[in-house]
Amino acid sequence: MSKSTGAVLMTEGSIGRHILAFAFPLFWGNLFQQLYNTADSLIVGNFLGNNALAAVSSSGNLIFLMVGLFQGISIGAGVVIAKYFGARNLNTLRKAIHTTISFGLLCAAVLTAVGLIAAPRILLLMGTPSEVLPNSLAYFRIYFAGSIGFVMYNCLTGILQSVGDSRHPLYFLVISSLTNIVLDLLFIAVLGFGVGAAALATIISQLLSASLCLRQLMHGPEEIRVRIPEIRPDRLIISQILKNGLPAGLQNSIISVANVFVQSNINRFGTLAVAGCGSYSKIEGFAFIPVTCFAMALTTFISQNLGAKKYERAKKGAVFGILCGISISELIGICIYLVIPKLLFAFGSTADAVAFGITQARTVTFFYFLMAFSHCMAGIMRGSGHAAVPMFVMMVCWCIIRVTYISIIVQFIPSINVVFWAYPLTWTLSSIVFLIYFLKSDWVHGLE
């Protein structure tokens, strides 16, 4: 397909070129997304203080808990669309695209209702400090009032990426990110609004990016063009989306439950720990960027090639993507280890808060390659139709074992370092299991 349309068939040509050409726009897109997530914390921390920064930070895991399920379903939709695109089954491809949009609209309505109703109870269960709770609740409720923006953005970018177009989502995300930063500065620095204004800026920018994605699909190539009258669900397509996406969504939500548990343990060490660790989590998000890029690139590449029954090409692409993902992630981890104090002070935190962030960073950064390997393997398994495999591996290693470890060890060693070590230990376990499965199983025939 022509470059002007953005869609790319990845079943022919250079494997490395296709994966890198798809991953690099994702990299820049995720970089801008992380920048505008970080902009919330930077602006809130510098203009509203530690309590407001802690409110934004403590809401992060809870937000991902709520949206993770729907992000996973978007991944499942992308696998289905990529399979039909690679097989050149155009009638079913168009049906899958329109079903994905209709299903996304329903998911957005459900998420809005659940987010608004459940927020107070969940924040209390997390042990959110009382001085932080009002701001956390305001941020959370405003954020979820705009659920349709980020749910539809995920659905629509998933459609574009599944047909090999990672460039247009990048353009739209850059526009959205810049809009978010400008609105943050306007609402907080200029107009003096509270922490809820940061959430308002985010949902406005997400609605903008979702609108741009929809416009692109409505004016795209004929075989993937969206027509409003055709947006309706198809039972067979929904069953395929749920089969491929529900395990990924449950995985996201289950891991988020574990992370909420981790956050609740961090909360026990006070507002300074919440602020310092929250600031580090924003920085850590940058290290996750290459992981996300190559995992998503692998999912699309594997789905298209297995849809076209090109098994050896899929295997070669899997190895190439894994090597790229772990190499870049580890390099970033080393860089963060070296410069973490300067990065943390940029958030306007006090020295005591920064000390918590430095300790966390220098505990986990050397192990980023293990985290990257697990995510790349999860992308490969989803693209091959084995979405249940990463769900079970990460549910056991990143949830059950992580929570059990913290619950037991912290009773004997009441140190925040115990909480920090939960991540590299469970990344190691999941990597071992994934490696064994990758080498021993016949994963290339999953989509059949």
Predicted confidence (pLDDT) at residue 421 exceeds the cutoff of 90: yes
List for the chain the helix, strand, coil content (%; round to 5).
Answer: 85, 0, 15
Q: For the residues of 360-376, what is the DSSP string, one character each? A: HHHHHGGGHHHHHHHHH
Tokens of 16: 């490395």
> Cα Rg for the chain, rounded, in angstroms?
21
**Position 388, amino acid:** A
pLDDT (mean) for 407-430: 90
8 A C-beta contact, residue 86 and residue 305: yes
Q: Residue 361 has which token pair?
A: 């960073």
Q: How many CB atoms lie within 10 A of CB 12?
A: 10
Task: Look at residue 1 in the predicted model and tell me its pLDDT.
Answer: 46
Average pLDDT across the chain, whole number: 83
pTM over 0.95: no
For residues 95 and 239, the answer to whether their CB atoms sit within 8 Å is no
185 vs 48: which has the higher pLDDT:
185
Task: Give the containing element (helix H, strand E) for 43.
Answer: helix 15-48
What one-letter code names the amino acid at 77?
A: A
Mean pLDDT of 182-198: 83
Distance of CA 337 to the CA centre of its chain: 23
Of 53-57, 161-165, 210-214, 401-405, minimum mean pLDDT range: 53-57
For the chain, report the end-to-end CA distance as a whole number of angstroms: 26
Contacts of 430 (CB under 8 A, 6+ apart): 370, 374, 393, 394, 397, 398
Q: Are 281 and 57 in contact (CB under 8 A)?
A: yes
Question: Token match 């995985």: residue?
Answer: 251
Give the largest Cα separation in the chain, rounded. Answer: 63
Winning range, highest mean pLDDT, from 73-77, 287-291, 405-409: 405-409
Confidence of residue 429 (pLDDT cuts 50, 70, 90): very high
CB 354 within 8 A of CB 416: no
Predicted local distance difference test score (pLDDT) of residue 114: 81
Torsion of CA 99, 104, 110, 115, to 10 degrees: 170
Residue 94 neighbours by CB distance under 10 Å? 19
CB-based contact 285:368 (threshold 8 Å): no
Q: Is 421 helix (H, G, I), strand (E, B) or coil?
A: coil
Contact 39/261 with Cβ under 8 angstroms?
no
Whether the per-residue pLDDT at 3 is higher than 50: the answer is no
Report the range of poorest mean pLDDT among 66-75, 289-298, 371-380.
66-75
pLDDT tens digits for range 105-154: 988 888 888 878 877 777 777 666 677 777 777 787 888 888 888 889 88
Confidence of residue 377 (pLDDT cuts 50, 70, 90): very high
Q: State the sign of the Cα–Cα–Cα–Cα dihedral 314, 315, 319, 325.
A: positive
Please report which confidence band the pLDDT of residue 207 belongs to, taking 50, 70 and 90 as the band edges: very high
- Assess contact for 35 and 119: CB atoms under 8 A: no
Place 58 in a pLDDT band, splitting at 50, 70 and 90: low
What would the two tokens of residue 436 be? 């064994």
- Tell me the one-letter amino acid at 71: Q
Nearest partner of 97 among 226, 219, 202, 268, judged by Cα? 226
Tokens of 404: 């059990």
Report the C-alpha gap between 269 and 265 in whole angstroms.
7
How far apart, in whole angstroms, are the C-alpha atoms of residue 277 and residue 268?
Answer: 12
In terms of pLDDT, which residue wins out, 43 or 384?
Answer: 384
How confident is the model over 212-231, as pLDDT tens digits? 999 999 987 888 888 988 88
* Of residues 24 and 97, more confidently modeled: 97
Q: Which of 183, 221, 219 lies closest to 203 in space, CA to CA?
A: 183
Give me the percent of the chain exceeding a pLDDT of 90.
17
**Of 49, 85, 3, nearest to 300 (Cα)?**
85
Q: What is the pLDDT of residues 287-311, one digit of tens each?
A: 788 888 888 889 888 988 888 888 8
pLDDT of residue 2: 44
Question: For residue 18, which of 219, 164, 207, 236 has the smallest C-alpha distance?
Answer: 164
* DSSP H/E element including 177: helix 167-184
